[in-house]
């Protein structure tokens, strides 16, 4: 029963392009009209028609502690009593900066912004300003938000909608972006041999999660570190998804590879709009007003968002949350893989900790080319069957499954059971 969602979607499309404020939410890739959500708590989300779902989108990553975590709600309530925004420095921003520097191994200095897009856009500008070079390297299928230079062969919603990049990105700018196959170090070496002295930065999702989840080859990531050092280019880890999800210090801690700059988002806002970029003091101090590279933002470091983010990070710092999330991820994905095998459905499962993807493919999925070879039609059948059974997955084969600490053993068992039913429908 989705009557109220249908009416809302009809009305939404009158006022909002496609009826949504972010394209992937429209469900076009899987041929559904999206449920409009009324509320959520823990790992459960309820739509306006009262249908309840187990949530594996988790707001695309931020809700790693589940929805309406009491400590986060309390922090927001306490903060909001003192006002919502001052446009002036506050103590809580210093606390947030200190916490990020403490938790993320390569970050010595950090600047808060309002989204992952702002974080990567600013990091690219800083890398270009610091190196006085214009070209950047990214990887096919990686998505770094919608800044012009990065909407080249991007993943996530760009891949979902099958659009090559985006109209409106000037050709003269796009040609400064070299997009190469992920996990292919040879292509990077060739690019550096050709353009090395003009490459400002290499930006990479250390664990890509916007073409589905891809497991990085360690020689590839270490090779990026080595070659950017050789040519004096900046290595940027876009950890908007992996930051604070895969470990306290994200993928860079997990893999022990230190980038020069790191982009963050999602989890550090605890569900409120926050992004950040940070790294070596020598580079970050080029940012105005200390330096001459410009970036600004009315709501950057917003105290309420900082309170929500800090409450989240303070919980993540404690105990063995990442071991718990690793176990949940292992049980869920191995259970789904076994269910597929029993049903004779060919799947490839890629997972790192509490982040993973099920690809309908009988080959390994190691880059955008192989991700594009997966069967999107079967994914749609799987997606719809899971949704009908109350499992809320990302409506695209180019997205990821996000787990939270709120997903209990019983919830995971129920999900695997629903997957068994879904595979029998294929
Ligand atoms: P935002 O501007 O959406 O906060 O962050 C952009 C971004 C940057 N880097 C990475 C690795 C990202 O995954 C993202 C955004 N992720 C998508 C989901 N794949 C956001 C969901 C959406 O676009 O609606």
Digit-by-digit pLDDT tens for the chain (426 residues) are 799 999 999 999 999 999 999 999 999 999 999 999 999 999 999 999 999 999 999 999 999 999 999 999 999 999 999 999 999 999 999 999 999 999 999 999 999 999 999 999 999 999 999 999 999 999 999 999 999 999 988 888 877 766 557 899 988 899 999 999 999 999 999 999 999 899 999 999 999 999 999 999 999 999 999 999 999 999 999 999 999 999 999 999 999 999 999 999 999 999 999 999 999 999 999 999 999 999 999 999 999 999 999 999 999 998 799 999 999 999 999 999 999 999 999 999 999 999 999 999 999 999 999 999 999 999 999 999 999 999 999 999 999 999 999 999 999 999 999 999 999 989
Fill in the DSSP letter of residue 169. Answer: S
Give the per-residue pLDDT at 156: 83
266 is catalytic: yes
Instruction: Give the bridge partners for 237, in sequence order.
Output: 204, 262
The CA distances from residue 11 to 21, 26, 28, 59, 285, in Å, are 14, 14, 17, 23, 47
Q: Which CATH architecture group holds 70-316?
A: 3-Layer(aba) Sandwich (3.40)
Which residues' Cβ are closer than 6 Å to ligand 1?
A: 22, 24, 60, 115-117, 120, 143-145, 156-157, 205, 210, 238, 240-241, 265, 275, 399
Residues of the chain with CATH 3.90.1150.10: 3-68+319-425
User: Which candidate, 316, 206, 313, 318, places its Cα nearest to that of 251?
Assistant: 206
Q: φ, ψ for residue 296 (rounded to 5)?
A: -150, 170
Give the per-residue pLDDT at 171: 87
- How far apart are the CA of 207 and the centre of ligand 1, in A? 14
Give the per-residue pLDDT at 160: 72
Give the per-residue pLDDT at 154: 80
- How far apart are the CA of 243 and the centre of ligand 1, in A? 13
Give the per-residue pLDDT at 164: 58
Residues of the chain with CATH 3.40.640.10: 70-316
* DSSP H/E element including 158: helix 156-160
Nearest CA owner, ligand 1 atom 1: 116
Nearest CA owner, ligand 1 atom 22: 22
Give the per-residue pLDDT at 332: 98
Strands 135-139 and 177-180: parallel
Give the per-residue pLDDT at 39: 98
Q: Which CATH architecture group holds 3-68+319-425?
A: Alpha-Beta Complex (3.90)
pTM of the model: 0.97
């Amino acid at each position: 029963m989705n009557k109220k969602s249908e009416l809302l979607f009809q009305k939404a499309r009158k006022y909002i392009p496609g009826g949504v404020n972010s394209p992937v939410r429209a469900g076009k890739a899987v041929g559904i009209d999206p449920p409009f959500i009324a509320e959520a708590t823990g790992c459960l989300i309820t739509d306006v028609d009262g249908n309840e779902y187990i949530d594996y989108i988790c707001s695309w990553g931020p809700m790693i502690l589940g929805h309406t975590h009491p400590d986060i709600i309390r922090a927001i309530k306490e903060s909001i009593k003192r006002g919502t925004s001052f446009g002036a420095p506050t103590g809580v921003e210093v606390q947030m900066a200190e916490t990020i520097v403490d938790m993320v191994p390569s970050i010595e200095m950090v600047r808060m912004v309002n989204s992952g897009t702002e974080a990567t856009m600013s990091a690219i500008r800083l890398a270009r300003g610091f190196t006085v070079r214009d070209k950047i390297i990214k990887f096919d299928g990686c998505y770094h938000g919608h800044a012009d230079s990065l909407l080249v062969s991007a993943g996530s919603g760009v891949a979902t909608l099958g659009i090559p990049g985006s109209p409106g990105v000037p050709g003269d700018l796009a040609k400064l972006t070299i997009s190469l196959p992920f996990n292919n170090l040879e292509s990077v070496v060739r690019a550096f041999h050709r353009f090395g002295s003009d490459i400002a930065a290499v930006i990479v999702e250390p664990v890509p999660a916007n073409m589905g989840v891809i497991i990085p080859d360690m020689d590839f990531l270490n090779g990026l570190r080595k070659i950017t050092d050789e040519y004096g280019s900046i290595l940027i880890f876009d950890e908007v998804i992996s930051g604070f999800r895969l470990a306290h210090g994200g993928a860079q801690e997990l893999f022990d590879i230190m980038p020069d700059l790191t982009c963050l988002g999602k989890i550090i806002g605890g569900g409120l709009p926050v992004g950040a970029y940070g790294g070596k003091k020598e580079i970050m101090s080029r940012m105005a007003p200390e330096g001459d590279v410009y970036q600004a933002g009315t709501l950057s470091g917003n105290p309420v968002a900082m309170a929500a983010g800090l409450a989240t990070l303070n919980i993540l710092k404690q105990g063995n949350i990442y071991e718990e999330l690793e176990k949940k991820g292992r049980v869920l994905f191995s259970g789904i893989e076994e269910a597929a095998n029993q049903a004779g459905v060919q799947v490839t499962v890629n997972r790192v900790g509490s982040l993973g993807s099920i690809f309908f493919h009988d080959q390994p999925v190691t880059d955008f080319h192989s991700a594009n070879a997966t069967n999107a039609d079967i994914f749609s059948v799987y997606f719809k069957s899971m949704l009908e059974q109350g499992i809320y997955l990302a409506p695209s084969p180019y997205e990821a499954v996000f787990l939270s600490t709120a997903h209990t053993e019983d919830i995971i068992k129920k999900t695997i059971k629903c997957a068994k039913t879904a595979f029998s429908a294929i």
